[in-house]
């Protein structure tokens, strides 16, 4: 009789499974920036949208800066009053900033789908409370990650980068948007990081162009991010003509 050959023992599962590679959607950093540039040149109204969406925050930031400078010479009750004013303006800046980040995100996602939203759509509202809550959770998580040797904060920022878009476009609640963003960015983090680094260079070029260039630079970056979001969720952006 022949000795029976024992079956191979099943392999133990690895304690860590690497994230799957993103599907080959044709996304590239160059493609994202080209899409942003095409959006800007074929639809210049996006410049107006960016101006409308950023001016309130810039003005509030200027007011806060003036109050901070005044506190350097203030004493007693005056200093306390100025401190309260700085806190109030800072809070207002956050509230307004989240609102316009929300509506600009929606505006550029609609544009990336081939629609032609008008500037008035920036004032039609949206799921603001969800967007605000998601932004706070996202900021706290990233700050805690940065405190833990920086790298975890960067990873969290990349993994949660699609949260705002999912709240606005997918109408998800804060926690669902955060969890979904973490899921869909598996395999995309390095690509998103590369886009962020190049976006910084685009913004620097805008600053060098007498600062005024920051507005078209911001439009290109917003459009490139919307292009990336649609690729991540499996859609094909529509190039403006």
Domain boundaries, the chain: 29-232
Per residue of the chain (241 residues), give pLDDT as tens: 455 545 445 445 434 444 444 555 689 999 999 999 999 999 889 999 999 999 999 899 999 999 999 888 878 888 889 899 999 999 999 999 999 999 999 999 999 999 988 888 888 888 999 999 999 999 999 998 888 878 889 999 999 999 999 999 999 999 999 999 999 999 999 999 999 999 999 999 988 887 678 899 999 999 999 999 999 999 999 887 6
For residue 237, the 8-state DSSP code is -
Q: Please state the separation of Cα 197 from the chain's center in Å.
A: 13
pTM, to two decimals: 0.84
For the beta carbon of residue 120, count every other beta carbon within 10 angstroms: 9
Residues present in the chain in total: 241
Structure-block tokens of residue 153: 């904060």
Per-residue pLDDT, 24: 55
166: CB partners within 8 A, 6+ apart: 172, 176, 177, 180, 181
d(CA 189, CA 195): 10
d(CA 230, CA 241): 18
d(CA 108, CA 133): 22
Alpha helices in the chain (DSSP H): 29-42, 45-71, 76-112, 128-147, 151-159, 163-170, 174-184, 189-208, 214-232
Helix 29-42 × helix 76-112 angle, to 10°: 90
SS3 annotation, 163-178: HHHHHHHHCCCHHHHH
């Amino acid at each position: 009789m022949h000795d029976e050959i024992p079956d191979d023992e099943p392999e133990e599962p690895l304690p860590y499974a690497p994230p799957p590679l993103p599907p080959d959607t044709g996304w590239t950093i160059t493609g994202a920036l080209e899409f942003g540039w095409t959006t800007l040149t074929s639809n210049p109204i996006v410049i107006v949208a960016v101006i409308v969406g950023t001016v309130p925050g810039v003005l509030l930031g200027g007011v806060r800066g003036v109050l901070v400078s005044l506190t350097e010479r203030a004493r007693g009750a005056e200093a306390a009053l100025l401190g309260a004013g700085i806190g109030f303006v800072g809070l207002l800046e956050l509230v307004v900033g989240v609102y316009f980040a929300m509506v600009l995100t929606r505006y550029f996602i609609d544009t990336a789908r081939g629609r032609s939203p008008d500037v008035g759509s920036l004032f039609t509202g949206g799921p603001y409370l969800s967007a605000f809550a998601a932004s706070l959770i996202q900021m706290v998580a990233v700050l805690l990650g940065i405190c833990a040797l920086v790298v975890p904060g960067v990873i969290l920022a990349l993994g949660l980068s699609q949260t705002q878009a999912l709240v606005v476009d997918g109408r998800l609640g804060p926690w669902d948007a955060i969890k979904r963003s973490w899921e869909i960015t598996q395999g995309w983090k390095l690509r998103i990081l590369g886009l962020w680094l190049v976006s910084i260079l685009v913004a620097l070029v805008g600053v060098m162009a007498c600062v005024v260039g920051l507005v078209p630079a911001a439009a290109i970056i917003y459009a490139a991010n919307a292009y990336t979001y649609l690729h991540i969720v499996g859609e094909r952006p529509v190039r403006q003509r």
